[in-house]
Structure 1
Amino acid sequence: MHRVWFLIVIVIWLPAIGCTLPTNTSVADLTPSPSASTYRIGPEDKLTISVWKNDDISRTVVVRPDGMISLPLLNDVKAAGLTPEELRDMLVSRLQEYLNNVELAVIINEIHSLKYSVLGEVSKPARYELTSRLTVLEAIAAAGGLKPFAARKRIVILRQAGGDDAIERIPFNYDLAAASNGTEGNPELQPGDIVMVPASAF
């Protein structure tokens, strides 16, 4: 599967509150997230924290698996689960204990935390990065296609439902979706989805 790199620049300078993206570009074009202002930072995302007129504190960092980043003066800071605006506000609040008139930008350079999994009777079961809009048929193709004994009509997409631990089970019939060339019964995946391909029962 080819790795595709995206650059999402989210620059927020105090005292202005806002979010800018490159001209004629929407976040929907870049990632499955609904908008830059609602995207929540996750592990493995690459960020630049830019403090105006203070190169000693400014850093480009990768969010660790525990969701933390490390910055001078502040040491470890929780970044995962926050929007860029929330991270900016928190950093400004904490840096004001050491600096005057803090002006700070949060820049998301690379997104790696949006992932999906294809498991079971496929050639390359694994967890993959969701770098663009992707249908179930495309995800199965990226995983090397179905094995000969895959239960083609009993595939299930497991998706977290709402903010609790409930799991939604979405049935998927590979043959029906393929017969329509992917135009029917072929939903787009969401971050965190698991495509389960069971084996045929004999």
Structure 2
Amino acid sequence: MVIKHSTSTSIWLKQLVPGLLLVLCFMQTSCVGYKNIVNFRQAPDSLAMKSIPLPPLPEHKIQPDDQLSITIYSINPEAVAPLNLSHGNTTGPETAPAATVGAGFLVDREGNIDMPSLGRIKAAGLTVEELKDTIIQKSLRYVRDPIVNIRFLNFHFTILGEVSGPGIFTIANEKITLLEALGMAGDFTPYGNKENILIVREEAGQQVFERINLLSQDIFTSPYFYLRKNDLIYVEPMQAKTASIADPASKVLPYVSVLVTLTTLIITILR
């Protein structure tokens, strides 16, 4: 069987392919480059060959509206039981202190907590270790050698923007790095801008704004390497995504690629 085809059609198709290839190359300029995907691009080739001192852990000051888990231990459990929130039935309004939330203590607007037997204690402005010392001193009136365990129940941070799982995250400890937080949010999307991450932090009653470059090894020595309570992290989109949203034509890139492939196949058959 002999396949007949029009010479003018073949010429038209041959002239169309270069134009489609040119459009395809132009539209692919908005793709995300490899260098914008790799973290710590400015770090040495082998991080194991270079030691980088980490910044000191931040001291988390207790603030009004914080929720604290406070437990007092002793060699005599019966003696220390009245000092703990779990003593007796604490679920009813008659026995539970007014400033408690669930299994913890709520720091009121004046910065105080009300503990069983120990009474009102000033907590705002203190670190966890300082509050421990205060409670130990007050507990010595009732028990010998008390041990106090305190942790935040509302230690949370927020991640928004170009990450796979944005949201508010609550953790059980007070030590978490920016990298661990981004991992909890599912890492960056392909369009996440790693060179200009915004961190919003509360300090001395003010909002402090800081930009972090995750492609630089300086992140390991930054005071923002460790997160603080209520930090907000925003990952802005790269220009490539901004361009794709602003230019609807870029959305037809997959269709153009298929069209070029089909056109090339047709020309090959018609030769």
* Interval of TM-score (by shorter of Structure 1 and Structure 2): 0.5 to 0.7
In the TM superposition, what is the alpha-carbon distance from 1:43 to its structure 2 partner? 4.1
Q: How far apart in 2 are the matches of 1:137 and 1:73?
A: 40
Q: How far apart in 2 are the matches of 1:84 and 1:113?
A: 18
Structure 1: runs of 5 or more not aligned: 1-30, 94-100, 178-182
Question: Identity over aligned residues, as a percent?
Answer: 17
In the TM superposition, what is the alpha-carbon distance from 1:108 to its structure 2 partner? 0.7
In the TM superposition, what is the alpha-carbon distance from 1:60 to its structure 2 partner? 5.1
Tell me the residue number matched to 1:147. Answer: 189
The runs of 4+ residues in structure 1 deviating greater than 6 Å are none
Picking from 226, 232, 250, the partner of 1:194 is 232
Q: How far apart in 2 are the matches of 1:123 and 1:39?
A: 31
**Residues 72 and 80 of structure 2 are in contact (CA less than 8 Å); yes or no, is this contact kept in structure 1?**
no
1:169 aligns with 2:192: no
In the TM superposition, what is the alpha-carbon distance from 1:153 to its structure 2 partner? 2.4
* TM-score, normalization by structure 1: 0.54
TM-aligned CA distance change 1:127 to 1:148, over 3 Å: same
Higher-Rg member (1/2) = 2
In the TM superposition, what is the alpha-carbon distance from 1:140 to its structure 2 partner? 1.0
1:71 aligns with 2:107: no
Q: How far apart in 2 are the matches of 1:59 and 1:141?
A: 36
Equivalent AA in structure 2 for residue 116 of structure 1: F
**Residues 116 and 127 of structure 1 are in contact (CA less than 8 Å); yes or no, is this contact kept in structure 2?**
yes
Instruction: Name the one with the larger helix percent.
Output: 2
* TM-score, normalization by structure 2: 0.43
Tell me the residue number matched to 1:158. Answer: 200
- Taking only aligned residues, the RMSD between alpha carbons, in angstroms, comes to 3.9
Aligned 1:96-135 pairs, distance under 5 A = 101-103=141-143, 105=146, 107-108=148-149, 110-125=151-166, 126-129=168-171, 131=173, 133-135=175-177
Q: Which has the higher contact order (CA 8 A, sep 6+)?
A: 2
Give the number of equivalent residue pairs.
Answer: 151
1:147 match: secondary structure: coil
Structure 2: runs of 5 or more not aligned: 1-55, 87-102, 244-271
Picking from 72, 81, 95, the partner of 1:49 is 72
In the TM superposition, what is the alpha-carbon distance from 1:195 to its structure 2 partner? 1.4
In the TM superposition, what is the alpha-carbon distance from 1:156 to its structure 2 partner? 0.9
Tell me the residue number matched to 1:59. Answer: 84
